[in-house]
Amino acid sequence: MAIEIPRTRYPVERFTLPNGLRVVLAPDASAPVVGVAVVYDVGIRSEPEGRTGFAHLFEHLMFQGSANLEKLAHFRHVQGAGGTFNGSTHLDYTDYYETLPSNALERALFLEADRMRGPRLTEENLRNQVDVVKEEIRVNVLNRPYGGFPWLKLPPILFDTFPNAHDGYGSFVDLESATVEDAADFFHRFYACGNAVLSVAGDLDVDAARALIEKHFGDVEARPAPVRPDFSEPDLTGERREIYTDRLAPLPAVASAWRVPDPAVDLAGYLSYVVLAEVLTDGDASRLVERLVLKDRSVTSVGGYIGFMGEPFEVRDPTALVLQSHLPPGGSVDRVLATVDEELDRLAHDGLTPGELSRTQARIATQLLRDNDAALNRALRMAVLEQQRGTQTLAGTDISGAALLNELPHMLAAVTEEQIVAAAATLRPERRASIEVIPGAGAGAQAPAAAEGDEQ
């Protein structure tokens, strides 16, 4: 008998300030800490041509001082209150966040409100952060094996338009071309408070937190959200496959992507792919690990997930189910791809084995609940859900985007075998884009190609 999927009941409070800032609160006093997140509805897809990497560079500039704060002050005030901070740039959003002991909540709200009024954009700070970002790209992409694989390497094969296909870390040429004026325009256009969601989770009193939010954010200039461009692209009509040499990689690798339904239009259909990815790759009892790793030994590892940044609940259309494998020396990518096709066919024709779906759903529930144990993770997830997912009607009840936080484990547990089979049947070779890594390092490796030359 399948184990019962438990439910979280974080209370979710939502309101909008007169200036258009949307706010979500989720009190939970199980630990004396809070997570504070501000999510802006702008990401890699929105950066202009000739400015690859700009959304991320701009994220760095949001830490360089603001209306009432000198450079370095933000870091010192968060950490001097016992907290930690960061920000990150994604395809469809950019987040800024702190987690702190709950006695520092007001300080965090002050800091986020201050940079929502405007960062201090100076030539000196811009040049400094271009240098820092170049080191970030070197450490994460250029100086290590499999850098940018597959998240930077696969989108240009699956997609044709600049917003979806380009390198979100950016070329060094584009980064160096960025100007203070570009940054000011970007801020004015995308960092409107009408384009943001503020979220606070953890040890808070709703009324007191609301009063503090009104105090600190109430006088932030009202600017409406820009119209979000249409980033849609048609599905592939034929298989695409490309190859590059990674001069540092010792072993072959391959990643494939297939488009999945738009979660804004068909959330239930989309979630069946989220579960399918786990049926295929979560642990030693999953389909592809059992077949490719344990039985055939044709791969050393295999992973599967939705979205190029591995965040199924934080991405909009167009997105994809991604499967990636590392192969043993001399391994055959053709054979791996053919075996994946065979396993998908088998799933589509023979269905699941008894218990296979329910155990996968139980494990998904654990992983979601585990993420949500951290106040900061709840704050981030709620904010993005509020921004990207409108109110859903579930069993006749309206559920806000933020409140999906409590519903996701059960929505994923409601995915049926029929849905999994139908989803598997869509993962056909002719809808697939693949990227293959040729190892350029070690004995017998081919001469290094200029695979990452555009970064240099």
Partner 1 sequence: MTATAVHTLPELGPTRPLTIPPAAERTLSNGLTVIAIRRPAVPLIEARLRVPFAGADLATSALMSNTLFSGTSTMSTVEIAAELQAVGGALGSGVDPDRLMISGNSLASGLDRFLEILAQVLTDANYPTNEVETEQARLIDRLQVLQSQPSHLARVALQRRMYADHPYAVQTPTVDQARSVERDTLLALHRDRLHPTGGHLILVGDLDPDTVLDVVERRLGGWAGAGSPVELPPTPALVAGPLVLADRKDSVQSSLRIALPAVSRKHPEHAALQLANLVFGGYFSSRWVENIREDKGYTYGPHSLIDHSIAGSALLVSAEVATGVTAPALVETLYELGRISTKPVEAAELEQARQYALGTLQLGMSTQAGLAGLASTYAGYGLRLDFLAEHSERLASASLADVAAAAEKYMGPAKGVVVVLGDADVVGDSLSAVLPVTVQPSTSA
Contacts of 2 (CB under 8 A, 6+ apart): 355, 358, 359, 362
Closest to partner 1 by CB, 65 or 401: 65
User: Whole-number minimum distance, CB 358 to partner 1, in Å?
Assistant: 7
Which distant-in-sequence residues (6+ apart) come within 8 Å of 20 by Cβ?
Answer: 192, 193, 194, 222, 223, 224, 225
Give phi and psi for 148, each to the nearest 5.
75, 5
In sign, the C-alpha dihedral spanning 173, 175, 181, 185 is: positive
Nearest approach, Cβ of residue 398 and partner 1 (Å): 25
- Closer to partner 1 by CB, 16 or 366: give it: 366
**d(C-alpha 148, C-alpha 201), whole Å:** 32
Round to whole Å and give the CA distance between 391 and 411: 14
**Residue 291 backbone dihedrals phi, psi, to 5 degrees:** -75, -55
Q: Could you tell me the smallest distance in angstroms from the CB atom of residue 113 to partner 1?
A: 7
* C-alpha 436, offset from chain centre: 23
Q: Which is nearer to partner 1, 298 or 387 (CB)?
A: 298
Of 260 and 336, which has the nearer Cβ to partner 1?
Answer: 336
Q: How far is the CB of 231 from partner 1 (least distance, A)?
A: 29
* Closest to partner 1 by CB, 135 or 160: 135
Least distance in Å: CB of 388 to partner 1? Answer: 24
CB-CB neighbours of 363 under 10 Å: 15
CB-based contacts of 89, cutoff 8 Å, min separation 6: 43, 44, 55, 56, 59, 168
Q: Which is nearer to partner 1, 4 or 350 (CB)?
A: 4
Supply the minimum distance, in Å, between the C-beta of residue 28 and partner 1: 7
- Cβ closest to partner 1, residue 161 vs residue 446: 446
For residue 119, is the peptide bond before it cis, meaning its omega torsion is within 30 degrees of 0?
no
Residue 374 beta carbon to partner 1: minimum distance, rounded to whole angstroms: 5
CA distance 84 to 71: 17
What is the nearest approach in angstroms of partner 1 to the Cβ of residue 75?
5
One-letter amino acid for residue 133 of the chain? V
Contacts of 38 (CB under 8 A, 6+ apart): 95, 96, 97, 112, 116, 196, 197, 198, 199, 383
**25 three-state secondary structure:** strand
Angle ∠(312,84,38) on CA atoms, nearest 5: 50
Closer CB to partner 1, 84 or 391, in the complex:
84
CB of 272 to partner 1, least distance (A): 18
Nearer to partner 1 by Cβ, of 165 and 206: the residue is: 206
